[in-house]
Structure 1
Amino acid sequence: MRSAPLSGSCSRTHMMAFVCNVSPIFIYSFVRFLNLKQTLRISFILFPRSYIYICSKYVCNFMTLYFVVPSREPNSKYSSKPQGPIIEDKAEYIRQLTALLESKDFRERIKGIDQLVADCQHNPSMVIRSLFPVFDAFRDRLQESNRKVNLYALEALQGMVRLLKVDLSGVLNHLVPAIVDNHLNSKNRAVYSAATGALCELVLNLDNSLLLEPFCFKARVLSGQAKVDLTEKVAELVTELYPRRPQLVEQKALPLLWGLLGPSSGSVHRATTSLCQALHHQMGPGLRQSAASQPPSVGRDLNQLLRTMS
């Protein structure tokens, strides 16, 4: 069983797990037996067609233990079954779905998210025809203050991206800010994981040339962990895109690098180094040549960073 990465590179393995057909009570007893003082915490992670409980990470005598326990719930909350009769009229479809997504009752808003997920699988042509009004309403669920609905929407989006793929391209400029704003700097681990999972699905399922500009823009204007994560994502896109779209990469990624150069430390410095390495690997001496047209401080900071990398 594989899970989507929780953070960082989409291709990197972030979690190892032992699948155990046992109850959470057994896990709790086992952890107590190991005399681990950390309180057992259980969170929900979406897997294709099923839910599992993932217990927190425990370290004991240099051994990391992860427990993955199949859910005992008979029905997945993200049911792939049609939620009702398929509506053929576009205007009526938009009216009914947006009414659910914009309801004052949070349970109705969650029902609307379920309906949209089911329609992406069973009635994708209608979703695509209604893309802008439907995803305008769905975007508000990604950004709303009710944390339960907010998290539910972030997790559901991952499945929608896998189903619709390139057909979501038209709403990327709305979706990316809704995913990254606030969520990548969230102290709520479940929200952060759901947001990074959604970004990974975008990278895996859409044309990455469409993602480069919104990722670069958000990496410039956001701070904290969001800046780090998005800068690392841009470094990955540079490696994939430069061989076929060099001008696009230089136009979008170089201004991000110039803005990151200078005094920095910790994770921001590591992310800056990753981006610089990716660009230098692809551009070679052209990276220094491009910096020559910038203010002198840019060339000086770039040369200093390149020296530390060699």
Structure 2
Amino acid sequence: MKKCILFFLLLLITISEYSHLIAQNVRGSEMPTLVIHGGAGTILKENLTSQEEQAYHDKLKEALNAGYEILNVGGTSEEAVITAIMIMEDSPLFNAGKGAVFTNEGTNEMDASIMNGGNGSAGAIAGVKTIKNPILAAQAVKNNSDHVMLSGAGAEKFAKDQNLDLVDPSYFFTESRKQQLKKLQKAEKSKEEGSIQKWNDYKYGTVGAVALDKNGNICAATSTGGMTNKKYGRIGDSPVIGAGTFANKICGVSATGHGEYFIRNVVAYDIAAKMEYKKVSLGAAAEEVILDKLKAIGGSGGVIALDAKGNISMTFNTPGMYRGYIQKESKPMTFIYKQEY
């Protein structure tokens, strides 16, 4: 009998630990809150040096502190997510803006979107090559146009008309991303499946932010360089409202992962819909979509999500996701690997 009880207790501990390893939910306190991500993927501790780890933690904390400073003085959730994402777009560490990955043709093509949960307004841009901060262009589409999404040359012309910073495409060049492209193309050419799997982070990246301000308004935003070696003007989920980004009065969501799966399953909206119609918690909704529904069909990635009470979910089905949150000034919490909580 004692052995049975001991086995049962060990089973409960194992289940509880496993739950922590795959989902991270933080109870809110209805105060201004900011949660961010810097991409999900095959992020393993053995593949990062301690210096690289620290660099990611430092940049995530910089973005969190800057965004929260705006919330702390009464700024809006939209201002906070824009500020946080711009810091990550300006860093070569992340697959967005300065650190964007290369396409098959050796160019950088970026996508971004933003949605304000208070009034349902949304804006997005896709396939742009010269806009320094794509998230600002997405915001401009939302605020200053009659449209939701603009793409390519038209989006760049619009950005110019909006007096946004345009740069030469060479601004986005980073040697590490160039090498990433070369290695993937070499593996693809040789058709060595093992080599391709070794570089399976080609389909991950993206940065995102979701904020709750003192007025209870939620805003979500996402920015990405897309998929390494992408062809034919491929566009993923990041600029697609409802797939990579969604916000309403109930919650806000920003996604990262293999975009095709997130588009087909309208992941960001699906989480909000489960909360609204099934009356489940934010954490339960995110886990059902990411850990059950998406994983069952081979979709890999994760989300950050935030509800109107300040509850946070950082749920992913990959080995790691750069992520963090802040609910109190000067106390940003950041994480990289699955085992951290």
Q: Under a length normalisation based on structure 1, what TM-score does the superposition of the two structures give? A: 0.31
The alignment's TM-score, normalised by the length of structure 2, stands at: 0.29
Asked which structure has the greater RCO (Cα within 8 Å, sep 6+), the reply is 2
Query: Which structure shows the bigger proportion of residues in helix conformation?
Result: 1
Which protein shows a greater Rg? 1
